[in-house]
Amino acid sequence: MSATSTKRLSYHIADQFKESFSEASPSRLYLFVGRTGPYSNDSVASTPTDTVQKQDYNIYKQMLAAKKIQETDVTYAIVRRNWSNNQPYAEYTNTTLNSTLHNSAFYVFTSDRNVYKCLFNNKGANSTVEPTGTSTGITSTSDGYQWKYMFTVSTADVGKFTTSAFIPIKVITADDSSGQFAVQTAAVDGAIDVIDVSAGGSGYLTNNGSFQAVTNSTSMRIATTASANDSVYIGSTLYIDGGLGAGLIREITSYTGATRTVTVNTAFSTSPNTSSTYIVSPKVSISGDGTGAAAYSNVTTGGTAVNYINMISTGTNYTNATVTISANTSFGSGATAVPYIGPRGGHGKNAREELGGSYVMVATELSGNESNTLPQENDIRTFGIIADPIERSTGAAANTGNFDMTTRLTLSGATGDFRADELITGGTSGATGNVVSFSNTNAANSAGTLRVINITGRFQNNETITGSVSSKTATINPASNSDLTFYKGNVLYTENILKLTRSVDQIENFKVIFSF
């Protein structure tokens, strides 16, 4: 049996995760930070190990504090692909494997914070002109590329969510001034925006210029540069590309070489005049289950191969389509082309899915001491996310902003300051822990609160503790445990980082990307 999971399964799972922050009974996720002590080699962050012991037990003992992740801290995200001069970009096709398309650079993030999807890459040429503007149509640049503007990342979102590898992307249902809603509204379902020439063939004829004379709306004389041979343009098309009748196209059914007179199959609804310009080129026939798509071909200058297909109208409601290129059978053959049908709903209708946004980013800030729940006197080497922790004082699911995860020992009779990270040992219990900070309550430093993590065993009231490095001693009076109950939440993510030294005026922005 063979089977595959579609990309939409990834979107579905990402949706469920993101919606868990805003649904009627939301999951409560918290950012936690911890691990004050060094790695064996503190210039290299060790890789976290996903074992029961490490992630279900040890990780809690290292925690310093936890802060609730708000709905506004969560966004969909896509891979960041900056536009760069003189680089090739992949073009969208509806037949490319999603895994291939979404792993390719088929969209760009520009210096204007705009995101554009590449619809046509000028036959694989390098892009040398950065796209600009927020038009809901197709943006054509002088390097031959065609782009679709998708949305703009706001200045605020750049600051909060953008990283060197990812940018935020939204799913919006009302105008939020990002340009995305206008693109969604203008999207055309089943349009054919691009027809790509796969083989140019040979022997084709072309001619362009201004009409010498217009007899009526079905008969006109083309330029003297046209062929003097009868019938050679029969089966080709006459496209009016400027002046009266611009945008109209008809098939040539008769051609008299001596007078350069063409007759078309159906009268032009707007008759051209001698100021109108035209292109005679091989006929492009589009067939499929949609309607309205029309195009004309371009033959290489001085050559006989079909070079490009230019869309006159993109049509609507196509789910399948084929293209045939034809002309007088004695003058040209072998050209083939492939139509690219837009995604369901049309280009820009669902930017997040069109650009492979199966990522969810969580970005949460820590500032200062976070309401006196986060020590500022020590380093951080680990952060992560924990789901649905339990508040120790109530036994209920945590739902407020910040929690202190250290054990606070009230000391008296201290002989001096304890040192950060040093091991303390209880003289009676033999329990141990690592010092996070000591907040003395008198000038002699003989009393105060000692914050401790990585506790083994149980400290006892009125026992003496001793610092392994400072050799300082003190007597433990009542202790206060961590605000959240150990081992009751589900650790979803952990990341080890190089030592992060905190300061009073510093803000740390922690970002986590979940890929589904």
DSSP string spanning 140-165? E-TTS-EEEEEEE--HHHHHHH--SS
Instruction: Map tokens 């952990």 to a residue.
Output: 494
Residues 3, 135: one domain? yes
Contact 79, 165 (CB under 8 A): yes
Give the β-pairing of 146-152 and 249-256.
Answer: unpaired
Residues 123, 207: one domain? no
Residue 418 included in any domain: no
Residue 306 included in any domain: yes
Contact 493, 386 (CB under 8 A): no
Residues 104, 151: one domain? yes
Provide the β-strand partners of residue 348.
none
Residue 42 included in any domain: no
Residues 320, 180: one domain? no
Residues 355, 498: one domain? yes
Residue 152 included in any domain: yes
Contact 76, 13 (CB under 8 A): no
Residues 20, 75: one domain? yes
Mean pLDDT, the chain, rounded, equals: 93
Q: Which pLDDT value is given to residue 114?
A: 97
Residue 428 included in any domain: no
Residue 41 included in any domain: no
Residues 210, 181: one domain? no
Tell me the CA distances in angstroms from 247 to 254, 284, 311, one per residue in order: 21, 15, 10
The domain of 251 spans: 194-341
Q: Which pLDDT value is given to residue 250?
A: 98
Residues 183, 199: one domain? no
Residues 198, 334: one domain? yes
Residue 54 included in any domain: no
Residues 255, 301: one domain? yes
Residue 445 included in any domain: no
> pLDDT tens across 480-516, in order?
889 999 999 899 999 999 998 887 778 889 999 999 9
For residue 195, what pLDDT band results from cuts at 50, 70 and 90?
Answer: very high
Q: What would the DSSP string read from start to end of 205-248? A: --EEEE-SEE-SSSEEE--TTS-SSTTTTTTSEEEEEESTTTT-
The mean pLDDT value for 95-117 works out to 95
Q: Which pLDDT value is given to residue 99?
A: 87
Q: What would the DSSP string read from start to end of 383-452? A: EEEEES-BBTTTSSBP-SSEEE-SEEEEEES--SPPPTT-EEEETTT--EEEEEEEEESSTTS-SEEEEE
Residues 148, 267: one domain? no
Distance CA 148, CA 115 (A): 9
Total domains, the chain: 2
Residues 20, 121: one domain? yes
For residue 93, what pLDDT band results from cuts at 50, 70 and 90?
Answer: very high
